[in-house]
Chain A
């Protein structure tokens, strides 16, 4: 491609602009045809032949993620109380401040969600009942489930913190909701 030998095309002059007629670069043609062939095969595989569609691919990858989930240990009130002892109170407090305080108030006095510092409970005040509400939420009441957002240890830590709020009767609390807890 010695440009001294190149001659502009005859009759191609527009406002002084001339044109060469160099051949299309080989690598450029290769790229062009390469993408066309790839595209053709890609379409055939996914839309005509048996390539998986996005529904199937999603199902597969969700199943793989599901298999990673270890069911937590079987829990009851006693086991949870024991776990409360070993969990970090600071962790519980900071998770509460980050995730719960917006609705239940900084002191647990209740705001959008119910008061956590009285002794009335809508879904029960036992450690297990609290753990279940925190994990699974109460969808029709607007309590979101936290089990996908919190690890098992974090769930226990925040449950321990909320459990300790019971009966602290924060000032300016929302009026009690639900039923009074039976004294044991």
Chain B
């Protein structure tokens, strides 16, 4: 018995249009921040638009708004057809769509305002975190409900990847976002120091894995064979590389923390699991490319195939480069510089971008019931995009490797050859301009696509949900002839539970040991918590996004130690909520900057960095000397810190505001004595910030290996 049903195509159109809109925002902000690195004047001396606040906007827009909407469009389109049923609930689909767009708008408003947790790709504050959880659960319920109502007994490989995505992203988001609110737009994570670092990069790396990789692999498994009209190359390769990928990916997070204060074993685990990830990743590439056997001629004529092949090729390149970058000694050269930026843009622009565009060209005529307006323009889009990516990739490789080698260079007298940090930055500024060209070309290609899309939609036929004849009933009972995995493909719940176990094992083994942070702190050591004034300054440091360009992690590498001082230790950040180790050094490391320069140096440097360092490309922060710091919030903040185990006395908590103001007066007075004219200086944000910077590297007592100088 067959019955006629209609797939929900409206929701796909909605997500597709949202994808294009947000892609435009992500690319535009990308070009803007690229310009800011080429010339500091593009910060416009406005607090909402400094690099520290815009860079998170760029990454969030690219990942969650552009790629996110692309994923949802593809999942809603393919899932219904692969399961031979309409989505279980149109209401949940619409809730998901509008909820997600609201979250993006909230992100676009709060990030420029400096409302941030400073955890990369998880910057959004707690109310938005809750909203994300709700919307994600709605998406998950809708997907699993649809799976339960399917008229196709076995789940196709694309669905496996969607299941892995829904389950793991939920786990990552919830665990990484456990935080205690201290106001409507401010919270402290329960994780501190190495815990926070490990949890954050377990999240950060697997956001790449389960938000930018597994769902896109699922999309590839649908759109590649559909567009090529060829069978998938190897079913058993699908099985092996799926399970290997899901199991191994989750362990690899600590490769973001190599040579750091992270315990050796965790670093080594992160490195070796990244190496083992190479083949499972390439399994996806092989299955994608070899599916095209017998259809390679379409590469010349079909823009969809062009984009998909380009995409899978970049996936192969990125997943080969990733394991290499995870090798400790390679990482010593590449970490904190633009090689990593090159790496992620190969993935984002090439793999995610091109796959989304290929999917869009596939879906446009089908969803709008018409022909693509111009194949020729789609061809132009491809070549502009490809050229843009290559220029981007090559310029940032060169910039990263150049700067990395300059940081490492030591002469035959044991001295750094480039001791001035700013010299190593200015050397690569020309390449920052080249990058702007690459990004602009990519944007031009995108705009050609938008034009093509508008023209196509103008020619649309009647918009109606596609009809399909499906069986009225399909038995989901396992049959004895099936192989074990085939049987599993018919058991949606069992399959999902196994996926959960696969990602849970690695998560627990790598995170559990650091839950007791004291295990890694020598007993002779005492760490003084930040004074109330310093804590207030730290919150301003986070708000301004200083961590975007400044690390606080002197690695266990000779050239790092010679440049910045003794390697950072676990205890130094044990009260840091959130941790501020950073991931990129556009400016120097600050772990030991405390007391290195006088207060007046910092005061003048914040207001205009070029007064102190002529060639600096840091934005100016004149508003820090004008805006009032939130002294009255301090007791609340200290109370939360105390509840999380920071040893503040009850008296300090209660009198936090007075204590901070008293310390601030002393700093303000000494600045006034040296000529700063502002009678109300102590109330301004710049004073706590200076107090915080001056405290960096001076909070640990009892460890002879931790001091200002070597």
B278 touches A20 (CB 8 A): no
Contact of B232 among A17, A111, A139 (CB under 8 A): A17
B271: chain A residues at CB < 8 Å are: 42
A103: chain B residues at CB < 8 Å are: 598, 601, 612
- A–B pairs, 12, beta carbons within 8 Å: A3-B294, A12-B154, A15-B222, A17-B222, A20-B235, A22-B234, A23-B234, A32-B276, A43-B272, A58-B558, A103-B601, A142-B595
Q: Which of B643-677 contact A (CB under 8 A)?
A: 674
B82: chain A residues at CB < 8 Å are: 14-15
8 further A-B contacts with Cβ under 8 Å, apart from A14-B81, A19-B231, A113-B598, are A3-B293, A24-B240, A35-B276, A54-B264, A54-B267, A65-B414, A65-B558, A145-B709
Given contacts A3-B294, A14-B156, contact A102 B235 (CB under 8 A): no
Given contacts A28-B283, A112-B600, A142-B601, contact A58 B236 (CB under 8 A): no
Complex interface: stretch among A66-74, A79-87, A122-130, A158-166: A66-74
Rounded to whole angstroms, the CA-CA distance of A117 and B259 in the bound complex is 46
B268: chain A residues at CB < 8 Å are: 42-43, 46-47
Contact of B273 among A39, A46, A68 (CB under 8 A): A39
Question: A-facing mask of B258-273, CB < 8 A → 1, else 0?
Answer: 0100001101110111
Contact of A28 among B222, B272, B279, B323 (CB under 8 A): B279
Given contacts A21-B236, A35-B276, A47-B268, contact A69 B558 (CB under 8 A): no
For the complex of A and B, the 6 pairs showing the least CB-CB separation, nearest first, are A39-B272, A32-B279, A142-B598, A68-B414, A149-B419, A18-B231
B264 touches A46 (CB 8 A): yes
Rounded to whole angstroms, the CA-CA distance of A61 and B709 in the bound complex is 18
Rounded to whole angstroms, the CA-CA distance of A21 and B244 in the bound complex is 18
Contact of B595 among A18, A140, A149 (CB under 8 A): A140
B413: chain A residues at CB < 8 Å are: 68-70, 151
B236 touches A62 (CB 8 A): no
A141 on the B face (CB < 8 A): yes
B231 touches A8 (CB 8 A): yes
A75 on the B face (CB < 8 A): no
Rounded to whole angstroms, the CA-CA distance of A24 and B238 in the bound complex is 10
Given contacts A19-B232, A21-B236, A54-B264, contact A144 B81 (CB under 8 A): no
Contact of A148 among B154, B267, B562 (CB under 8 A): B562
B556 on the A face (CB < 8 A): yes
The distance from the CB of A16 to the nearest CB of chain B, in whole angstroms, is 7
B596: chain A residues at CB < 8 Å are: 139, 142, 144
Contact of B234 among A20, A98, A102, A144 (CB under 8 A): A20
Residues in B lying within 8 Å of A, measured CB to CB: 78, 81-82, 84, 152, 154, 156, 222, 225-226, 231-238, 240, 244, 259, 264-265, 267-269, 271-273, 275-276, 278-280, 282-283, 286, 290, 293-294, 323, 410, 412-416, 419-420, 556-558, 561-562, 567, 595-598, 600-601, 604, 611-614, 674, 708-709
The distance from the CB of B233 to the nearest CB of chain A, in whole angstroms, is 6
B78: chain A residues at CB < 8 Å are: 15
B323: chain A residues at CB < 8 Å are: 35
A15 touches B415 (CB 8 A): no
A15 touches B81 (CB 8 A): yes
B84: chain A residues at CB < 8 Å are: 15
The distance from the CB of A97 to the nearest CB of chain B, in whole angstroms, is 9
Given contacts A55-B556, A58-B558, contact A151 B235 (CB under 8 A): no
Rounded to whole angstroms, the CA-CA distance of A53 and B556 in the bound complex is 10
| CB nearest to B267 among chain A residues | A54
B601 touches A28 (CB 8 A): no
Q: Which of A145-180 contact B (CB under 8 A)?
A: 145, 148-149, 151
A12: chain B residues at CB < 8 Å are: 154, 235
Rounded to whole angstroms, the CA-CA distance of A113 and B225 in the bound complex is 70
B282: chain A residues at CB < 8 Å are: 28, 31
Rounded to whole angstroms, the CA-CA distance of A65 and B674 in the bound complex is 41
A26 on the B face (CB < 8 A): no
Which among B78, B234, B244, B267 has the greatest number of chain A C-beta atoms within 10 A?
Answer: B234
A9 on the B face (CB < 8 A): yes
A58 touches B561 (CB 8 A): yes
Given contacts A28-B283, A58-B556, A142-B601, contact A151 B415 (CB under 8 A): yes
A17: chain B residues at CB < 8 Å are: 156, 222, 225-226, 231-232
The distance from the CB of A41 to the nearest CB of chain B, in whole angstroms, is 10
Rounded to whole angstroms, the CA-CA distance of A42 and B273 in the bound complex is 11
Contact of A22 among B81, B237, B279, B611 (CB under 8 A): B237
A28 touches B276 (CB 8 A): no
A57 on the B face (CB < 8 A): yes
Contact of A112 among B232, B557, B601 (CB under 8 A): B601
B562: chain A residues at CB < 8 Å are: 65, 148
The distance from the CB of B706 to the nearest CB of chain A, in whole angstroms, is 13
B222: chain A residues at CB < 8 Å are: 15, 17
The distance from the CB of B593 to the nearest CB of chain A, in whole angstroms, is 11
A151: chain B residues at CB < 8 Å are: 413, 415
Rounded to whole angstroms, the CA-CA distance of A35 and B275 in the bound complex is 6
B259 touches A54 (CB 8 A): yes
B231 touches A20 (CB 8 A): yes
Rounded to whole angstroms, the CA-CA distance of A29 and B234 in the bound complex is 14
A102 touches B414 (CB 8 A): no
| CB nearest to B603 among chain A residues | A112
B280 touches A32 (CB 8 A): yes
B613 touches A102 (CB 8 A): yes
A16: chain B residues at CB < 8 Å are: 226
The distance from the CB of A167 to the nearest CB of chain B, in whole angstroms, is 24
A102: chain B residues at CB < 8 Å are: 601, 611-614
B273: chain A residues at CB < 8 Å are: 39
B601: chain A residues at CB < 8 Å are: 102-103, 112, 142
Which among A24, A40, A140 has the greatest number of chain B C-beta atoms within 10 A?
Answer: A24
Given contacts A17-B222, A18-B232, contact A58 B557 (CB under 8 A): yes
B236: chain A residues at CB < 8 Å are: 21-24
Rounded to whole angstroms, the CA-CA distance of A129 and B674 in the bound complex is 25
Rounded to whole angstroms, the CA-CA distance of A49 and B674 in the bound complex is 59
Rounded to whole angstroms, the CA-CA distance of A70 and B412 in the bound complex is 10
Rounded to whole angstroms, the CA-CA distance of A23 and B240 in the bound complex is 11
| CB nearest to A31 among chain B residues | B279
A3: chain B residues at CB < 8 Å are: 293-294
A55: chain B residues at CB < 8 Å are: 556
Rounded to whole angstroms, the CA-CA distance of A24 and B234 in the bound complex is 8
| CB nearest to B567 among chain A residues | A58
B267: chain A residues at CB < 8 Å are: 54
A148 touches B272 (CB 8 A): no
| CB nearest to B259 among chain A residues | A54
| CB nearest to B155 among chain A residues | A14
B286: chain A residues at CB < 8 Å are: 25, 28
A65 touches B600 (CB 8 A): no
B412 touches A39 (CB 8 A): no
Rounded to whole angstroms, the CA-CA distance of A5 and B236 in the bound complex is 18
A61 touches B558 (CB 8 A): yes
A149 touches B232 (CB 8 A): no
A8: chain B residues at CB < 8 Å are: 231
The distance from the CB of A90 to the nearest CB of chain B, in whole angstroms, is 18
A112 touches B415 (CB 8 A): no
B410 touches A65 (CB 8 A): yes
